Structure 1
Amino acid sequence: MSRVRVAVVSGAALAALAVAGVATLGLGGRDGDAAEPGRTGPAATVPVTRQTLVESVSAAGELGYGAATPLASTATGTVTWLPEPGATVRRGEALLRADETPVVLLYGALPMYRALAENAKGGDVEQLEKNLSALGYTGFTVDEEFSKATTAAVKRWQKELELPETGMVEKDRVVFAPGAVRIAERLVRVGASATGDVVSYTGSTRGVTVSTDASKAGWARKGTKVTVTLPDGKAVPGSVSAVADATQGAEGAEGGDSAGSTVEVSIAIADQKALGKLERGGVTVRYVAKERKDVLTVPVNALLALAEGGYGLEVVSDTGPRVVAVEVGLFAEGRVEVSGEGLGGGALVGVPE
């Protein structure tokens, strides 16, 4: 008697049964013990395996440094120097020079919205003092008060920068950013006015951005582990670092519906060296869509379609082959989760050659 095997479409779901010209296998009451008369056993067997079954999904991603942000300088005068595109500027280094005077990068969330001098108080004072301390200037307490000791530290810093040692930090001499920046583009030429947007910058570390349909973005939670496959086939681990709010396409905006909504998912790569010299380009991001731990699995083509409905396995033992009805669960990577009475790890089941 011929055997009906399950055909799988897309590796994750049962889609069709090969029925033309073949008979359907019956259980004879589905008691799990009936053997087909005259059968001598399957042509080949494989063991039932206990494992964690994972269904992975791939998405297209783009490697880069993220969106560029314009840098607005409030310095007066003429631009006399700008860093080259691709250069990384770190704490204490110049982002530009105006009339040969440096505009310096420091780290922090607050913008430089006022001049800071002795007796000033506030979170911006503490932010400045944290930077001075990180640059190696000491002798003051890092707090929200600009003290005489802070003034002395500022003067030492100004001396090193070859600036007038006033002890006051002028508003247009400092730019705060969250961390080191990478220059994306020069927005003006040397010789132009130093007031306005002079360069654009990104973060200094490479990451991956994935644009995905909002209805399929359930996996995108901060901390979710992913695998990034580079153009050369190398796999690099990553994790979701941020998920932007959904944005609607033109259709969704006009119809007030979620159609066309997309979510921007940012993925951090901790091991920057693993990326080699690759700075930009298309990559593939794989994430776990479903996972079933410690389950019994068999190859999908071991499944039999039963005349009574459902599926079974041809279990081979010392007493001969028998068909056992099974419940199926997750399909992934050519295997399927199964459970059935008396079915255990290591049991042999029939498969086509």
Structure 2
Amino acid sequence: MTARGIALGAGALLLLAVAGAATLGLGGRAATDPAPERSGPAATGVVTRQTLVRSVTLAGELGYGPTVPLASTAPGTVTWLPEVGATVRRGEAVLRADELPVVLLYGFLPMYRPLADGVKGSDVRQFERNLAALGYEGFTVDDDFSAATATAVKRWQKDLALPETGAVERERVAYAPGAIRVAEHLVRPGAAAAAEVLSFTGTTRVATVSAGPGEAAWAARGVAVTVSLPTGGSVAGAVSSVGPVTAAAAGSGDSAAAVEVTVAIADQKALGALSGAPVDVRYVAERAEDVLTVPVDALLALAEGGYGVEVSGDAGTRVVAVKVGLFADGRVEVTGDGLAEGVRVGVPE
């Protein structure tokens, strides 16, 4: 017998008891006024065909992403640093040492040696690409630092008020993947310039989620997510990077390992002025396409095991055993004999 069948049997016994009490003059419904018999479920829901999606939400933070230290090899003393929060772009000074600029250029190779006429290598190509992007001409962007490159370098040095040598000193350039936002000063003006002088981030806001290793298995570059903002709106995002498993910081009181997931957000305007704000990052954990579903509370626990639903129709009601699949948003995927879109099933009132 089903759980609902047991409940119906108990209701019938109660009606008999009330009728007996009325016969004995103890009150209740009179025998001459019988209760109406139930001919179907108290309420019904409908079988629908749809796509079910189960989402998982993780707490995150909106900011500019992890910070990276910027190391200077310039001799002398730091005489100027850009303000915290300032954006530094290609060709601009990222610091001054003895009042001479250290210039930010874009690239992934560090400036590991001086560049001059006759030097060859991929670091030459990287530098020449930046020189061309800054508008200097008259040379070919390749692996060869030529006399023509040296001539263009002299023009660049003149514009920076540097000695016009035609050679690029190692300490005169700092590379980053793109424009940077100054996150923190690591030294003050007056300190030695040959040091990590500041930390920086990218210039676009991202959402970061710190998850346990078991919670980050879903995260892969390009996975779409939805970022819910504290202002009430939401924006689309996509995973841009997944960090390695790291232990919690010493003294934090949390010894659990964590994985940092970074989510890129294309629509920066939708974020308004938000930064350093808590956000919710929601991703799709499971999806069932084009399946039959019923309300979760339509399920009956069968005495023989498993689940069933009480199908209601013109011919009355019957219990149909079902196989359940994905649960999501108050509905559950089901398959069973005679189930089809539009069929009505019993649910509690």
Please, what TM-score do these two structures have when normalized by structure 1? 0.84
Q: CA deviation at 1:66?
A: 2.2
Matched, 1:110 2:109: yes
Partner of 1:72: 71
Aligned to 1:93: 92
Higher relative contact order (CA 8 A, sep 6+): 1
**What corresponds to 2:145 in structure 1?**
146
| Alignment check: 8 A CA contact 1:3 1:23 kept | no
Paired AA for residue 276 in structure 2? R
**Aligned equivalent of 1:230:** 229
Letter in 1 for 2:293: T
Percent identity over paired residues = 65
Number of the residue aligned with 1:52: 51
Distance across 2 between alignment mates of 1:171 and 1:347: 76
Q: C-alpha distance in 2, partners of 1:249/1:100?
A: 41
Larger Rg: 1 or 2?
A: 2
Match of 1:183 in 2: 182
**Structure 1 residues 10-25: aligned runs within 5 Å:** none
Superposition deviation, residue 141 in structure 1: 1.6
Query: Which whole-Å CA distance do the structure 2 matches of 1:212 and 1:195 have between them?
Result: 37
Given residue 62 of structure 2, which amino acid in structure 1 is its aligned partner? L
The CA deviation string for residues 205-249 of structure 1, in whole angstroms up to 9 with x for no partner, is 221222222123221122111111122222111111122222346
Alignment match, 2:333: 337
CA contact (8 A) 2:2 2:302 kept: no
Q: Does 1:326 align with 2:305?
A: no
Do the aligned partners of 1:2 and 1:23 also contact (CA within 8 Å) in 2?
Answer: no
Q: How far apart are the structure 2 equivalents of 1:264 and 1:96?
A: 30
Q: Contact 1:96 / 1:103 at 8 angstroms: preserved in 2?
A: yes
Q: Which residue of 2 aligns with 1:8?
A: none
Shift of 1:296: 0.7
* Structure 1 residues 23 and 71, CA gap change in structure 2 (3 angstroms): farther
Show CA shifts across 1:170-221 (max 9, x none): 1111100111111111222223332222222122222122222212322112
Alignment of 1:1-353 (within 5 A): 4=4, 39-248=38-247, 260-353=256-349
* Alpha-carbon contact 2:184-2:198 (below 8 Å) kept: yes
Q: Does structure 1 conserve the Cα–Cα contact (< 8 Å) formed by 2:84 and 2:183?
A: yes
State the distance in 2 between where 1:228 and 1:124 align. 39
Alpha-carbon offset, residue 3 of structure 1: 6.0
Q: Which whole-Å CA distance do the structure 1 matches of 2:136 and 2:8 have between them?
A: 84
**Is residue 2–residue 22 contact of structure 1 (8 Å, CA) maintained in 2?**
no
Greater shift in the superposed pair: 70-79 or 274-283? 70-79
1:297 maps to amino acid = T
Structure 1: any 5+ residue segments left out of the alignment?
A: 6-18, 25-37, 251-258
Deviation at 1:95, TM superposition (A): 0.3
Q: String of CA shifts for 1:279-310, please: whole Å, max 9, x gaps.
A: 11221111111111111111101112223322
Structure 1 counterpart of 2:270, one-letter code:
A
State the superposition RMSD in angstroms. Answer: 2.4
Letter in 2 for 1:190: P
CA distance in 2, matches of 1:274, 1:225: 17
Question: CA shift at 1:344, angstroms?
Answer: 1.1
- Indicate conservation of the 8 Å contact 2:3/2:302, yes or no: no
Unaligned runs of 5+ in 2: 11-36, 250-254
In the alignment, residue 224 of structure 1 is paired with which amino acid? V
In the alignment of these two chains, the number of paired residues is 319
User: TM-score, normalization: structure 2?
Assistant: 0.85
Whole-angstrom distance in 2 between the partners of 1:326 and 1:45: 17
